[in-house]
Structure 1
Amino acid sequence: MKNKLPLLTTALLASLILPSSQCASADKGLKDYYQKDFYVGAALNYRQISGRDAKATALIKEQFNTISPENLLKWEAVHPQPDTYNFKPADDYVAFGQQNKMWVIGHTLMWHQQTPKWVFEDATGKPASREMVLKRLEDHISTVVGRYKGKIAGWDVLNEAIDDQQGDLRKTKWLEIIGEDFAAKAFEFAHKADPKAQLYYNDYSLYRPEKRAGVIKLVKSLQARGIKVAAIGMQGHYGLTKPSIEQVEASIVAFAKLGVHVNFTELDIDVLPNPSHRQGADIAETFGADAKYNVYTTGLPDSVQQQLTKRYADLFALFHKHRDVIGRITLWGVTDADSWLNDWPIKGRTSYPLLFDRNFQPKPAFKAVVQAAK
């Protein structure tokens, strides 16, 4: 699809590189600028919702109207042992969202990462049977989704189930033990636990044609069973130039043809050199420390700041263009200090991927995002 978005002129770009104090109205947040278009939110950690990070908490309330839990509702966090649930952090997260009248997201019910080994093993440590794993999956989903019925508005039921290269089902324990209907079972259990909750599929690198085709095939198979997928979550873990706007737009259009909405669920822009030749977010792919991949330890050069600003401007112009099918945009973190990209794919880096800096101030990219709403 040909990109019809106007390129930023030099003058416009220069107008966006302003002191932080000039970047936003004191009484308006991103949620207000995009109120008629889609929800705008962030992924939160426990410090922020518990009040230990008061500045971040204030910023969240000011800027966002939807929230996602970065790790609080992943299986290993909420259900670490067969008979043990740790609900306190998740309870606080949901309460925070309710108190602030936010669209609360649950993330995630089924994933090949951060799921305890016991889920897939019997009492002797050998591979569990299909029946045993299905029972554990149903119990987990019934318990977790049921606890927050009517409180969590939408669930990332299944996360990253498509292979990076060919677009086939990823080779995981879920597929190995349950079989190809593992996805259908997870959605069925979630719908049974809360029939009114929106149910989503979530994955990264969905701009790639092979992976896009794999997700389309998966969603069509679920729809053929009568299972409603409310939206496909496109994780926006992007770089300064890749993927192209045309690639991202092609997937928005393709997914909308399935009769589902599109959510951008984990948006951030990595400005640092990447040791991997792949664009994605496979947390298993890590590298050792190397100074040549941590090049902005004392601050982001103005030239890179301008690239970041333009990148966010172009992306949000695209989102605004397709606001009829986009349900929400969720940034994966609140400030640069919170970003997982400080520790992935190399630990200890100084990263700058979000709209707010380490001092909780809006970056020039923030104003670019506000301008895109207009």
Structure 2
Amino acid sequence: MKKQIIYSVLSLALGGMAMNFVQKTEPTLKEVFKKDFYVGAALNYKQSSGQDAKSTALIQQQFNTISPENLLKWGPVHPQPDKYNFKPADDYVAFGQQNKMFIIGHTLMWHQQTPKWVFEDENGQPASREVLLKRLQEHITTVVGRYKGKINGWDVLNEAIDDQQGDLRKTKWLEILGEDFAAKAFEYAHQADPKAELYYNDYSLYRPEKREGVIKLVKSLQAKGIKVTAIGMQGHYGLTKPSIDQVEASIVAFSKLGVHVNFTELDIDVLPNPSRRQGADIAENFAADAKYNVYPTALPDSVQQKLAKRYADLFALFHKHRDVIDRITLWGVTDADSWLNDWPIRGRTSYPLLFDRAYQPKPALQAVLQTAKNKM
């Protein structure tokens, strides 16, 4: 009996070793692209704090860079003039450090999710330029300074270019500070952590008008001696739009500025979209309509295959330009986490990522991994 027990224990141990070996030989995103660029995901608080164990395991297995979906935006981290809420951000940074990941901070300056008090004086009137600059500097110095040497790169400025003409977006930042608002944000961030990478981040940058607007903005910063490490192209794309050629044109154009390119918010919306824009303007919302929620229970195999091909085509493009692309970040871990379940219509069942609601890989994951094998 004793021998049988010992044999059983040995068998289980050897079986476990074999299982571990098999698991280790399974390719992962971070492994197959390790010589090309980082591959990561945006995390919500349940994930970065360890409350979602299945997501945690998936993140640790697949990714080597992380971004915070919301917890480092101004509203969540600095909700009141004299109050900072650092606990969620501290947990996020600790998670990244524990797993030896390239950690991103998102975002220091944005016209959305910035509390009204930032732009107002004690009487509710528009704040002066002097007051707003002081608040901006204090915010950036405090937040970036807290994570100096820990957060590797910051989205300093987010979505500052208008959708239509490529001009500076009409925001409170521009209205009160004037056209040097971007330069000030980058200056303060660099002062707070001189070694951190600093980025400009925006959506729909495949569109020629927005692309030219960003080029103009970055050139204006460079003329002031301000270094922009990379431009973040938010990859909120559809199954067919934009074309690969359109995306590639912007990669090439931005690289000519002497900056690198990151794809910072990658997801593929497979659902019909009532928005006229191929973008990510969170201010655009529409009423519920069944014709825009066409797969409420499951994604048909035919659409799964289209999604797989779309991801494969994009990653083949990223691999082609790996000399200037540093990072690919998916905007979420599984389909259940995606903001597209609620935008531009709340309550939709969306399928935009590489892992499904049961934390299982979709055909798109294998298609992405295959692109790396094809290029070896």
Shift of 1:267: 0.0
Map of 1:60 onto structure 2: 59
CA deviation string 1:176-233 (max 9, x = no partner): 0000000000000000000000000000000000000000000000000000000000
SS of the residue 2:333 aligns to:
coil
CA deviation string 1:22-60 (max 9, x = no partner): xx9764320000000000000000101112110000000
Map of 2:11 onto structure 1: none
Computing the radius of gyration from Cα coordinates, the structure with the larger value is: 2
Whether contact under 8 Å (2:72, 2:107) holds in the other structure is: yes
Gaps spanning 5+ residues in structure 2: where?
1-22
Shift of 1:148: 0.2
Map of 1:326 onto structure 2: 325
Residues 162-177 of structure 1 aligned to structure 2 (within 5 Å) = 162-177=161-176
Whether contact under 8 Å (1:28, 1:62) holds in the other structure is: no
What CA distance in whole angstroms lies between the structure 2 residues aligned with 1:343 and 1:88? 26
Map of 2:46 onto structure 1: 47
Letter aligned with residue 83 of structure 2? T
Q: Does 1:247 align with 2:226?
A: no
Map of 1:77 onto structure 2: 76
Residues 135-284 of structure 1 aligned to structure 2 (within 5 Å) = 135-284=134-283
What CA distance in whole angstroms lies between the structure 1 residues aligned with 2:103 and 2:123? 39
Whether contact under 8 Å (2:27, 2:369) holds in the other structure is: no
Letter aligned with residue 221 of structure 1? S
CA deviation string 1:146-170 (max 9, x = no partner): 0000000000000000000000000
Whether contact under 8 Å (2:356, 2:362) holds in the other structure is: yes
Map of 1:118 onto structure 2: 117
What CA distance in whole angstroms lies between the structure 2 residues aligned with 1:92 and 1:51? 9
How many positions carry a matched residue from both structures?
351
Letter aligned with residue 203 of structure 2? Y
Whether contact under 8 Å (1:272, 1:293) holds in the other structure is: yes
What CA distance in whole angstroms lies between the structure 2 residues aligned with 1:155 and 1:50? 20
Whether contact under 8 Å (1:174, 1:182) holds in the other structure is: yes
What CA distance in whole angstroms lies between the structure 2 residues aligned with 1:240 and 1:231? 26
Map of 1:339 onto structure 2: 338
Whether contact under 8 Å (1:200, 1:232) holds in the other structure is: yes
Letter aligned with residue 50 of structure 2? G
Letter aligned with residue 359 of structure 1? A
Shift of 1:335: 0.2
| TM-score normalised by L of structure 1 | 0.93
Whether contact under 8 Å (1:40, 1:328) holds in the other structure is: yes
Q: Does 1:131 align with 2:115?
A: no
What CA distance in whole angstroms lies between the structure 2 residues aligned with 1:279 and 1:36? 31
Letter aligned with residue 193 of structure 1? A
SS of the residue 1:373 aligns to:
helix
What CA distance in whole angstroms lies between the structure 2 residues aligned with 1:277 and 1:309? 25
SS of the residue 2:81 aligns to:
coil
What CA distance in whole angstroms lies between the structure 2 residues aligned with 1:25 and 1:278? 42
Letter aligned with residue 101 of structure 1? K
SS of the residue 2:167 aligns to:
coil
SS of the residue 1:156 aligns to:
strand
What CA distance in whole angstroms lies between the structure 1 residues aligned with 2:317 and 2:338? 24
Letter aligned with residue 272 of structure 2? P
Q: Which has the higher helix share?
A: 2
SS of the residue 2:130 aligns to:
helix
Map of 1:9 onto structure 2: none
Map of 1:89 onto structure 2: 88
Map of 1:12 onto structure 2: none
What CA distance in whole angstroms lies between the structure 1 residues aligned with 2:51 and 2:93? 17
Map of 1:349 onto structure 2: 348
What CA distance in whole angstroms lies between the structure 1 residues aligned with 2:231 and 2:192? 20
Letter aligned with residue 46 of structure 1? Y
Change (3 A) 1:345 1:25: farther
Shift of 1:117: 0.2
What CA distance in whole angstroms lies between the structure 2 residues aligned with 1:89 and 1:208? 35
CA deviation string 1:291-348 (max 9, x = no partner): 1100001100111111101100000000000000000000000000000000000000
Map of 2:7 onto structure 1: none
Map of 1:361 onto structure 2: 360
Map of 1:13 onto structure 2: none
CA-based RMSD: 0.8
Query: How high is the sequence identity, in percent, across the aligned residues?
Result: 85
Map of 2:301 onto structure 1: 302
